[in-house]
Chain A
């Protein structure tokens, strides 16, 4: 009897040798005359255990990881094909504490199946939402999405149902669904994991959006840094077309919807929705002034839904299980679940989906297990390069849009980057300015020039510290500059760069005076 193994094909697994592991398992099995079949699944999200090899046994799927190709023979020797014990064994995958504590709604299937098996997608609850929606009126779909409380996962947290309704009610020669798969925020990878690990889910979400608002064409604007996601999405689109789930008469329901992948070209600002639309139109990715909203005049001047990958991928389960089911998770005005991405210097890095409301401390200490280096946590940056740095003193902040805003931070796309005590926060503040300078679209002066000035100020402060001078005057100007950027920028690139800068200044003053570092050097 053939034994089934799973070796992920997610980029993060490939980055740490999953292909070599799969190859070695095949070679070893054939040398030992054992019949196996390997499914290349998505990732379960426990990236620190990648490559995570799973073996299908009578007791369910058992996990071994992180496996290197060299360790494969010893796994065979230990009888891992029948659940044999080994130093890399973790028991049933779904009993691993990191996994067990999650509420996996959007990521329910990710890592479970071959991402491009439509049969597996159906077998695990795929297309239920779409089939239900096809029996509903657009009004009823819009109402369900609105009632679910789903807010955009791209960063701004705007209610998805309201956005869709605006497009539904808007008049135009045609309408578009645009999926924002630019995922530029450092420390985030949930969009990538869905596209590589459960691509049909995203497409189902886009079709649902199309049916709800009356759009027949969708684009996925996908960053060029994600070649595997591009390939997987293109193949998934082909498969759905061949199966009449995308096309002129999808599921014979007299509705048409088509999707195309468009590849970005390495510009962070193109994740901003209006810059993205300009880029899709073949122009420079320059931010547009609003109004008009994309919902009224978006792509090629037509009413356009533009949503993040996770926003769209959360809709199928809402349609399948109902608005109440989804809304019952979460806290306050942050409803449902959020895929938190733990990254950087963290012991258990990966994707953790949970209802809103856990505290930052629980997430970093209990789930993340502290730093990878074993040193104390000094700072965490939440929400990408425009997000604030939080010190452990603020770890009681619950993961909730409003709670973060109240502490001058943002959830953004829910990435958390952990730093240990070797980080220099002045250098991080400098980097925030540098990044803004590199990626600015150039439209507003405070962003374009201010960011460059910010880098210079950080450099001057640094050299004053090195020369035992007083850097304080530079910080006064830096704060002033941040005010100007905050209020004089058209979009959040210039407008939010002050978040990392000011949070670093406010919460880690010791790094800006030079005192402790000079002491440490003595």
Chain B
């Protein structure tokens, strides 16, 4: 319990420092949230009061912003994030079947994480790779002209 408290207050202090470093910027909240998520892999709920305090906002306001955007998560993702495109150009090239197969193989759903915590599969609506569909982004790396075999290989090549 004490250890958990310590982690929490350390996180709050870090979040406060991050918020402080950006607070002079116009419309600082989004850059702050990106930086906090970069640091912790998510926006830990207990950091919201600290961020709100630095920006002189209410907790509800900060929470409202965090919950509005698809990118911000309240728990960390798996060790690798696979963003699979669900949008039309990828649909036209078999993207839906590819996604369905992958989710079934991994026994998870959209935005779900595999039981071993290795992979999180997120839906994304266009990666700008529509002329080499179907497309995905794996840990920020773009991949196109995917098929089931290629996707399986790419995932198997990731660190455990």
Contacts and interface: CB of A to CB of B under 8 A. Distances in A.
Contacts of A48: 131-132
A372 B34 CA distance: 39
Contacts of B130: 186-189, 341, 343-344, 349, 415, 417
A65 B106 CA distance: 35
Nearest to A378: B92
A421 B128 CA distance: 24
Interface in B49-100: 55, 64-65, 68-72, 83, 87-93
B127 interface: yes
Interface string A162-184: 00000000000000000000011
B68 A343 contact: no
Interface string A2-44: 0000000001101110000000000000000000000000000
A280 B131 contact: no
A272 interface: no
A187 B71 contact: no
A508 to B, nearest CB: 15
Given A224-B71, A227-B140, A418 B128 contact: no
Question: For chain A, what secondary structure do more than half of its interface residues adopt (helix, strand, loop), or is it mixed?
Answer: mixed
Nearest to A46: B131
Contacts of A183: 126, 128
A185 interface: yes
Interface centre among A191, A267, A344 (most CB of B within 10 A): A344
Given A12-B129, A344-B89, A265 B70 contact: yes
B137 interface: yes
A504 to B, nearest CB: 12
Contact of A265 (B71, B88, B91, B142): B71
B128 A192 contact: yes
Interface residues of A, number: 61
B69 A343 contact: no
A225 B70 CA distance: 11
B29 A282 contact: yes
Interface in B36-56: 55
Contacts of B127: 11, 225
Interface residues of B, number: 42
Given A15-B142, A385-B87, A385-B88, A184 B125 contact: yes
Contact of A185 (B30, B72, B126): B126
Contacts of B135: 15
A346 B88 CA distance: 13
Contact of B88 (A184, A192, A381, A438): A381
A267 B92 contact: no
A267 B142 contact: no
B31 interface: yes
Interface in A262-312: 262-268, 279-286, 300
Given A187-B130, A225-B127, A265 B72 contact: yes
A267 B27 contact: no
Contact of A343 (B26, B33, B131): B131
A440 to B, nearest CB: 11
A343 B89 contact: yes
A438 B83 CA distance: 16
Contacts of A280: 27, 30
B124 interface: yes
Contacts of A351: 131
Contacts of A385: 87-88, 125
Contacts of A438: 125
Given A184-B125, A350-B131, 5 more contacts: A12-B131, A184-B126, A187-B88, A267-B68, A349-B131
27 contacts: A11-B127, A11-B128, A12-B131, A16-B145, A47-B132, A185-B126, A186-B87, A186-B89, A186-B90, A187-B130, A225-B126, A263-B31, A264-B71, A265-B71, A268-B125, A281-B26, A282-B29, A282-B30, A284-B68, A286-B68, A343-B130, A343-B131, A344-B92, A344-B130, A345-B92, A435-B125, A439-B125
10 closest A-B pairs by beta carbon, nearest first, are A349-B131, A282-B29, A344-B92, A186-B87, A343-B130, A265-B69, A15-B144, A47-B131, A266-B70, A15-B142
